[in-house]
Amino acid sequence: MSDTHSDKTPGLSPDEQQEVNHNQPPRAAVLHEIIRLQGDQELERTLAALWWSALAAGLTMGLSLMAMGLFYARLPQGDGAQVIASLGYSAGFLGVILARQQLFTENTLTAVLPVMTTPTLANLGRLLRLWGIVLLGNLAGTLLVAWVMLELPIFDSKTDVAFLEVGRKVMENDISQMFAKGIVSGWMIATMVWMIPSMEHAKIWIILVITYLMALGDFTHIVVGSLEVSYLVWAGDETWGAFLMDFALPTLAGNIIGGSFIFALISHAQVRSDSGKPPSKLLQERQREQKNPPDAAQVPDKP
């Protein structure tokens, strides 16, 4: 008897052994390959497909400001209100991610892994093309939905004031805080993207927990924040110059650094430093094992 078989728990039936094989958590290399493949698929999409999906994502993110404003308008003032209202922040992320729309901070991880795996000028160009069109689409959607929420008679005056307060809270940060909080926010979104493939059945809870903590910590996010701050600009409380220089640029830089240069780079280095088979081979073998468990061939036919 081999050492491998002697180490197994005795008394497991073939069905139980198959269940063990099926429920093995994927290695980090397998998760890396899943996310890399997703990123490669995104890099291959046409400009029109990326633009319309990114624009839809920007519009969908309006759910975050809408939900938070509605919560704040109906809760008593105080620190406790943020604990509940922060749940509303997750609404836009749930809509965007479950609908498979293009969100910029997601692509700072998924699309960057193919470039790290094969660092060529062609891949870098594809990455910059995707980042540019998705960012523009997201911002166009958020600016449009912020204008609609302000100008159309949709919400009562109390809710309108709550929308303004949400934006004002973002602009209380100075440039260094926008940048530092953006790093944390980018890292948290990258963590969420990395976790989802291994826990697909718990996707909603992963999105909910991560984005709720982002709201509770007042971490800055380029897409949601552009919705909140542009509402102030449309209302005349801020200028477009302040939107760009005080909020957008430092937050964008922080999100990219936190999502790409810190999390993605470290995760990529971890996988590449791990000895063994390439991630693509590991993914293929895992899929084969789930379909045909190793002990299946040794199981005698039942009478």
pLDDT reading at 198 higher than 50: yes
- Residue 199, classified by CB atoms within 10 Å of its CB into exposed (0-12), middle (13-18) or buried (19+), is exposed
- Would you state the pLDDT for residue 99? 92
Q: Which residues contact 231 (CB under 8 A, 6 or more apart)?
A: 65, 146, 149, 150, 163, 164, 166, 167
Nearest to 211 by CA among 73, 72, 87, 43: 87
24-277: CATH class: mainly alpha
98: number of Cβ within 10 Å = 12
Mean pLDDT across the stretch 218-231?
97
C-alpha pair distances (Å), 242 with each of 146, 151, 175: 17, 21, 10
Average pLDDT for 277-284:
51
Q: Residue 147: pLDDT above 80?
A: yes
Please indicate whether residue 288 or residue 198 has the higher confidence score (pLDDT). Answer: 198
- Residue 269's pLDDT is 66
**Res. 288 pLDDT band, cuts 50 70 90:** low
How does pLDDT run across 64-96, given as a tens digit for each residue? 999 999 999 999 988 789 999 999 999 999 999
Max intra-chain CA distance, the chain: 80
Write the CA distances from 145 to 220, 236, 303, integer angstroms. Answer: 19, 16, 66
Q: Where are the domains of the chain?
A: 24-277
> What predicted TM-score, i.e. pTM, was given to this entire model?
0.79
The mean pLDDT of 182-191, rounded to a whole number, is 92
